[in-house]
Amino acid sequence: MQLLAQVSSETDLYVAQNIFFAVIAVTMIYAAFRVVTTANVVHAALWLVVVLAGVAVQFLFLGAEFVAVTQVLVYIGAVIVLFLFGVMLTRASMGDDETVAGEKRAMAAIVGVLLFAVMAMALVDSFEDTRVDIDQPQGVTEVSDAIFSQYIVPFEAVSVLLLAALIGAIVVARKD
> Minimum CB separation from another protein for residue 131, in Å?
6
> Minimum CB separation from another protein for residue 105, in Å?
5
Pick the closest to residue 62 from 12, 137, 128 (CA basis): 137
2 versus 99: smaller Cβ distance to another protein: 99
6 versus 168: smaller Cβ distance to another protein: 168
How far, rounded to the nearest angstrom, does the alpha carbon of residue 167 sit from its chain's CA centroid?
26
For 10-42, give the DSSP string.
HHT--HHHHHHHHHHHHHHHHHHHHHHH-S-HH
Cα 61 from Cα 151, distance rounded (Å): 24
4 versus 166: smaller Cβ distance to another protein: 166
